[in-house]
Chains A and B, each alone.
Chain A
C-alpha cells in the first residue's frame, strides 16, 4: 500500500490526467463488455460465464487481423463480427440445450467452453503474453493535456466507446428489433406468446452480447497484453458492474464500470497488488448497504 504516492498523484495535474484517462478507458471498455453480459442475462436469464472468452477471442482475432491486413479498423470489425458469429454458434449449439435448467448446468457448460478455448488459444497463439502494440495509424506523438500524457489512441478509444454505447442505447430503444429485445428482457414468455420467433431473438441477443465483448477485446488489445485466461478477470469485473450498477440499468452499468475503471487507474498507484481486492470489497459493501445495486429495481 502506498498512500503517499496516491496522494501525490491526485494533487499533480499531469498524473491526475494520465490516470483518469487510463481509468476512463478501462471503465468504458468494461462497460461495453458488461453491457453484453447484462443483455444476455436480462433477456435469456442465462449467466454467460463464458463471456470473458468472447472478450479474449475478440482480442486475439484483432491481433491476427492487424498482422495480416495492417488495418486496425478491420481488426476491430473482425473482433466484433467474429465474436457475434461465434456467439450465435455458441448459443444455438450449447446454450439452447440448457435453457430453463439448473444454474449449475449453465455454469458448467460455460465453464467447459472457457477451459476449451483457453487451451485453443494456447495452441494457436502460444501461451506467452502477446502485445499487439499501437496500430500504425496511432503511432503519433501523444497529446499533452495539463501536462499529462494522453496517447491519441486513448482519445479515439473513448470516442469509439461512447459512440457504440449511444448507438446501442438508440438501437435498443428505437428500432423494432431493439424494442423487442428490451420487451423480452422484461417478459420473455409474453414475447413468444406474441408469435415472435424466440429462437432468432435469442440468437440475436447472443450475437449482440458476444459482439460487444469481442469489440471490447479488440479495442483493448493495443493497450493490454493478450494471454490465455485473460477473459476471467474481465468476466468477474463485468459481473461486479452488473451487481453494483443494478440489474437492468444501463446507466448504472456505465457508472459502475467507469467507477471500477477509475479505481483500477488510481489503485495501481496506491494499492498495486490489491486493486482486485478493492473492487471485490466495493461490491460486497454495495451489496450490504444497497441490495438492489445503485440503480437496480429488484433486490439481488
Chain B
C-alpha cells in the first residue's frame, strides 16, 4: 500500500464519478436514477459496516441503528430547525459520531458473539424509542411532512436528477474517505486486530482505542447513508432502523466480498437489484432471499468480488516458495 495506490484510488473515483454523471445524458431512465440513489445509501452503509466486519473482525449486527439515526436526525433537523441542508447534514454526522462513541464504549470490550447480539439489542432499543416517541418521530407511521429547503449549493433536490448527482458525489467521496481510512496506519492496525488480537496487544497497541475509533468512523458513514435514504424517501420511517436492515447490510457485505474494498458496494447493488426483481415476481421475498443467502454462504462460501480477486491473483502471481527449512547463514 504505497502513495502510488492513493493516486490510483483517486483516478478510479474520478472516472466512476464522471461515468455516473454522464449516464443520464445518454439514458433516460428514472428507474435507473432511483436505483443508483438507493445503492449510494446502501453502499455507504455496507462499506462502513465492512470497516468493522472485514476490516477489524468486529461483527456488528446492529449497525442499522446508525443508518436509521442518520435518517431520522437529518429529517428532524430539517423539519424542526432552520438549518440549511449542509448544516443539518453536518450536525447529523456529529450526532452519529456521538452515538457511535456511546454504543461503542459499551460494546467494544465484548467477545465476538456477544458483541454481535448486544449491538443488535442496542439497535432494537433504538427502534423501540422510535416507535414509542410518537410526538417526535411519528411512531410507526414514520416521519410525515417531507423534507423542506431541499436546496444545496444551487441544486434543487426536489429534482430526481439533482438528487441523483448529489448521491453519486456523496457516495464516491464517502467511499474514497473510507478507502483512505482503510489504507491508513489505523487501517493496518485494525487488520492486525482482525488477524491476531493477542499478538497485537503484545506489540504495544491499545486495542480498545483502535476498535472504538473504527466503530465511531463506521457510525458516521452509516449515518451519511441514512441522510441519503432520508432525502430519497423525503422523511424517515421505522424500517430504516429495524433489524432486517442490519441483516441486509451484513448479507450485502458477505455477498459482495469482505476481503475487497468494493465488495460491499457490489453486494449492495446486487442485493437491491435482486430485491427489485423478486418483488416483481412474488411477495415471498424472504423465502427467495433466504435461499440465496444459503447458496452463497454454504455454496460459494465467499463473496462475488472475493472470488474474482482470487482468480485474478492466481493468474498473476505464481505459487509461493516451496516450504523448505532455511539453511543457516
A residues in contact (CB < 8 Å) with B? 41, 47, 94, 97-98, 102-105, 107-109, 111-116, 118-120, 122-123, 232, 236, 239-240, 243, 273-274, 276-277, 280-281, 283-284, 287-288, 291, 300
Contacts and interface: CB of A to CB of B under 8 A. Distances in A.
Contacts of B109: 291
Contact of B61 (A107, A240, A276): A107
B122 A98 contact: no
A1 to B, nearest CB: 9
Contacts of B106: 284, 287-288
B125 A277 contact: yes
A239 B290 contact: no
B294 A280 contact: no
Interface in B289-322: 289-291, 293-294, 297-298, 301
Contacts of A47: 113, 116-117
Given A103-B113, A115-B293, A287-B118, A280 B287 contact: no
A108 B125 CA distance: 22
Interface of B: 53, 59, 61, 106, 109-114, 116-118, 120-122, 124-125, 128-129, 131-132, 243, 247, 250-251, 254, 258, 284-287, 289-291, 293-294, 297-298, 301
B116 A283 contact: no
A280 B293 contact: no
B116 A115 contact: no
A288 B258 CA distance: 31
B166 to A, nearest CB: 33
Given A97-B298, A108-B293, A116-B291, A273 B116 contact: no
B121 A236 contact: yes
B294 A240 contact: no
A276 B126 CA distance: 10
Contact of B121 (A98, A118, A240, A291): A240
Given A107-B59, A236-B120, A280-B125, A273 B131 contact: yes
30 contacts: A41-B113, A47-B116, A98-B297, A103-B59, A103-B112, A103-B113, A103-B116, A104-B59, A104-B250, A104-B258, A108-B250, A108-B254, A109-B297, A111-B251, A112-B293, A112-B294, A115-B290, A115-B293, A116-B290, A119-B286, A119-B290, A232-B243, A273-B128, A273-B132, A274-B132, A277-B129, A280-B121, A284-B121, A287-B106, A300-B110
A114 B244 CA distance: 11
Closest 5 CB pairs of A and B: A115-B290, A116-B290, A277-B128, A112-B293, A280-B125
A217 B112 CA distance: 29
A235 B121 CA distance: 11
Contacts, number: 112
Nearest to B253: A104
Given A112-B297, A236-B121, 6 more contacts: A104-B258, A107-B61, A109-B297, A112-B291, A112-B293, A287-B110
Given A123-B284, A236-B124, A243-B114, A104 B53 contact: yes
Contacts of B247: 111
A142 to B, nearest CB: 32
B285 to A, nearest CB: 8
Contacts of B286: 115-116, 118-119
Contacts of B110: 287, 300
A274 B297 contact: no
The prevalent SS among residues of A at the interface is: helix
B294 A283 contact: no
Given A104-B53, A115-B289, A116-B290, A109 B298 contact: yes
Given A276-B124, A277-B132, A114 B114 contact: no
Contacts of B112: 103
A300 B114 contact: yes
Contacts of B124: 236, 276, 280
Contacts of A240: 121
B132 A239 contact: no
B121 A283 contact: yes
A31 to B, nearest CB: 18
Contacts of B301: 105
A281 B61 CA distance: 17
Nearest to A114: B290
A274 B132 CA distance: 6
Contacts of B258: 104
Most buried by A among B114, B254, B291, B297: B297
Most buried by A among B131, B285, B294: B294
Nearest to B128: A277
A201 B113 CA distance: 23
B297 A108 contact: yes
B68 to A, nearest CB: 15
